[in-house]
Amino acid sequence: MTNLKIGEYNELEVNRESPHGMYLQSSQGEILLPNRYVGELKPGDTVNVFVYTDSEDRLVAITEQPKATSGEFASLLVKDVTTVGAFLDWGINKDLLLPYREQLHPVKVGDQVIVRVITDPKTDRVIAISKIQAFIQRELDDLSEGQEVELMVYDQTPLGYKVLINRKNEGLLYNNELFQEVRLGEVMQGFVKKIREDEKVDVSLQQQGVRGMKNARTDLLEALQQAGGFLPIHDKSSPEEVQAAVQMSKKAFKKAAGNLFKEKKITFTESGIKLR
């Protein structure tokens, strides 16, 4: 019999029936599968279940799927804050505890927080931790410049936001390259901008290079169309004015506007740009 993995999925055999549900056989003895998860199961059947400990440290099996299992990262909503820590919406009937000692920053009800789900080896309790640095992989073999990636925003610095890249590596989103609101706990798509010699990774929400330029051109054209054919920005507008109008850097705007002008799709006026 394989060792039971608490906080993970296990394939277990139904041992016997009881008024409260079915008892499953495991390497740590019998585990209750409550009646609401039993369905058509009978003794001798096998079932894939998620196993965790309840509030009284008893092993419980369920067929519900949590948002993350032990060893995985997730962005979870804070449902409650108590004297022992914060309780997170885990996607199952039982909320997940984020103890105070494991919090990177204090959290409040309604926050989204990036956590690592772990099984405490001392207590067998499944908990969340937002001090995730020790679990971030340093090897960058799966990353390349220009690659589209998933970004999970987990911390803020004076330079910008620290993110998890594809739930494995660390990257940085720079404040001066952000043209939209970014919140801690947010999960979004982005791009690897640069892999540095010191193995640090810069990421961006905008695609770089020729493809990124094509996207900026398309975005500017769409913004003009939605604005009725005129935008009050030009090459002498401030970066802040450009950002507010079209959510892109002034550099990207000037290149996109230049391309559209060459294609004879826009004209420049003293007060802005307009469609031809």
Asked whether the predicted pLDDT for residue 8 surpasses 60, the reply is: yes
Q: Where are the domains of the chain?
A: 9-62, 73-133, 136-204, 209-275
Higher pLDDT residue, 91 or 226?
91
**CA–CA distance, 33 with 62 (Å, rounded to integer):** 6
Could you give the angle at the alpha carbon of 92 between the alpha carbons of 89 and 96, nearest 5°? Answer: 45
Residue 210 is predicted with a pLDDT of 45
How would residue 90 be classed by pLDDT, with cut points 50, 70 and 90?
Answer: very high
For 15, half-sphere exposure in the C-beta direction (CA atoms, 13 angstrom radius) is: 11
Residue 1 is predicted with a pLDDT of 66
pLDDT, average across residues 213-230 = 75
Residue 208 is predicted with a pLDDT of 58
pLDDT, average across residues 254-273 = 78
**CA–CA distance, 180 with 176 (Å, rounded to integer):** 11
């009881």: which residue's tokens?
18
Residue in 217, 195, 215 with CA at minimum distance from that of residue 205: 215
Q: Collapse the DSSP code of 45 into the 3-class scheme (helix H, G, I; strand E, B; otherwise coil) and give the result.
A: coil
Domain 136-204 homologous superfamily, CATH: Nucleic acid-binding proteins (2.40.50.140)
Residue 150 is predicted with a pLDDT of 96
Share of the chain above pLDDT 70, in %: 96
Domain at 209-275: CATH code: 1.10.10.10
- What tokens were used for 177? 């390259």
Domain at 73-133: CATH code: 2.40.50.140
Q: Calculate the average pLDDT of the chain.
A: 88
Asked whether the predicted pLDDT for residue 88 surpasses 60, the reply is: yes
Topology agreement, domain 9-62 and domain 73-133 = yes
Domain 9-62 falls under CATH 2.40.50.140: yes
Q: What is the pLDDT of residues 23-82, one digit of tens each?
A: 999 999 999 999 999 989 999 999 999 999 988 889 999 999 999 999 999 999 999 999
pLDDT, average across residues 77-99 = 95
